[in-house]
Every structure is written in C-alpha cells, then in structure tokens.
Amino acid sequence: MTNAWSDFNDAAQNANLIPKGAIVRVRLTIRPGGFDDPSQGWTGGYAKRGTTGSVYLDAEYTVLEGPYAKRKIWSMIGLYSPNGPNWANMGRSLVRGILNSARGLSDKDNSPQAQNARRISGFADLDGLEFVARIDVGADANGDEKNDIRAAVTRDHKEYAAVMGGHSAPATYAATPTYAAPSQAFSQPAQAPQPAQAPQPAQAPQPAYAPQPAYAPPQAAPAPAVGVRPTWAK
C-alpha cells in the first residue's frame, strides 16, 4: 500500500487553487494605487498605473463562506490599456456584473431603478462590496496557475440565492437620488383660514373693596337730669 507521505505523484499540483467554476460569495477590497485622472472619473487614489502605461484597479477578493472561506484571490480590473479598448471594456463589464450581483439585480433589468443602481459616484462605492463570483483559473507573470475572477453571478443564476443568502440588496434596489435644491423657496400649502373666535362678553366691573366700619353697639339715650322735665313728657 502506497504511503501518502512517501509518494506524492497523486497529490494535487496546486492545493491552493480553488477549483475552476466554483461559485462563492466574496468581498471586494481595492488596494489603493495612488493614480488619479479626474477627467476619467478616477479619483480617490484607487487606480494604479503599471510600468507599461496600463491603468487598473488592484482587486483583492476574500471568500466569505463555505469550504474556501478566508481564501484570497488577487486580480486586476482593467481601466485603460495603450494596446486598445478591449481591456477597459472587460473591466467595465466585470464592474457591471459586480453591481448587479451585489445589489440583487437581473442583468436583463433595464428599469430606471436598475440603471440607477449600476451607477457609482466613484471607486469608493465598489470598495467593500459583497457579491457572488465564479472562480476561474489563469496564469501569473511566471506562467504558474492562479485563481482569478472574471465574472460575477447575478440573481438570474439558479445558485445565486443559495450562495448570497440574505446578504444581497433587494431586487428593487434604487440608489438614493441626489438631492437638488428647488429653484424657488419651498412653501407649505396655504391652510384654510380659521374662523375668528367670538369675543368673550365683558364682565361687570367688580366694585372696589371698601372696608366695612367697625361694629359699634347702639348707645342708650341719656337719662334726664333730676328735676328737669323732658320735652317729650306731657
């Protein structure tokens, strides 16, 4: 019997590779490259410029769940190539898929809400997005095999719901519209005038308080003097 730790002919050639075609939920992190071109909308220092003049996003994908959890995949999202538009078109297509997947959209949905959800204000909106990806296998600069991500899986795919679970935005996702100040001052609609209240009847003025005189008991008539006949006696 062959000992697995003495004969390695049947060992996988690269055990670090995730099988091609695997569907996993990943988080995108953009490693800043420090290259900006505001005329192209490349701001925030996210883009990177290579030695050949090509421009790309240096993407790092972290697998979030399943048997390959915490595994990382490094890839490039093309923005510009001096050799022609193909690389940039591939990059734009990948970003469209990432937005569809992260925001629960069908790629066939062309409603105003879906179109709004496929717009970003800058590359910072992509940094940190979680979506479902299909794993591919490519080659690195030395010709060695490495994992790559070239496509995102949208809600049209039968495995999307199971892989994404409750982590996606609802299918009716719509980005918050940018507030535009109205040209005229906002005013509340006029309210119906309230009827004036009838005036309260005036109360009779209360007499000013006058202190009552101190009580004095009635005095008896004085007795007539002796020998004097009173005038009332007959």
| Contact between residue 98 and residue 134 where contact means Cβ atoms under 8 Å apart | no
Assessment of whether the complete model's pTM goes beyond 0.85: no
Q: Output the CA torsion sign for 137, 162, 58, 92.
A: positive
188 contact partners, CB below 8 Å, separation of at least 6: none
Q: For residue 117, which of 100, 92, 95, 97 has the smallest C-alpha distance?
A: 100
- At 5 the pLDDT is 86
Domain count for the chain, please give it. 1
16: burial class by Cβ within 10 Å (0-12, 13-18, 19+)?
exposed
Does any domain span residue 49?
Answer: yes
Is residue 232 in some structural domain? no
CA atoms of 77 and 61, how far apart (whole Å):
12
What is the reported pLDDT for 158?
95
Structural domain including 151 reads: 23-164
Residue 185: per-residue pLDDT? 37
Is residue 233 domain-resident?
no
Query: What pLDDT was estimated at residue 6?
Result: 85
Residue 186 resides in a domain: no
Q: Which pLDDT does position 205 carry in this prediction? A: 53
Tell me whether residue 179 is in a domain: no
**Domain presence at residue 136:** yes
Q: Given this model, what pLDDT does residue 192 score?
A: 52
Residue 151 covered by a domain? yes
- Locate 191 and state its tokens: 């309210």
Q: Where are the alpha helices (DSSP H) in 71-177?
A: 86-102, 112-117, 160-164
CB atoms within 10 A of CB 59: 21
Each residue's pLDDT tens digit, 173-182: 544 443 333 3
pLDDT at residue 141, as a whole number: 85
For the stretch 23-79, pLDDT in tens is 999 999 999 999 999 999 999 999 999 999 999 999 999 999 999 999 999 999 999
Closest CA to 173 of 93, 124, 127, 109: 109
DSSP character for 176?
Answer: P
Residues of the chain scoring pLDDT < 70? 1-2, 168-234
Return the sign of the alpha-carbon dihedral for residues 154, 158, 159, 161: positive
Chain-centroid distance, C-alpha 227: 122
Q: Is residue 205 part of a domain?
A: no
3-state class (DSSP) for residue 100: helix
Q: Would you state the pLDDT for residue 166?
A: 72
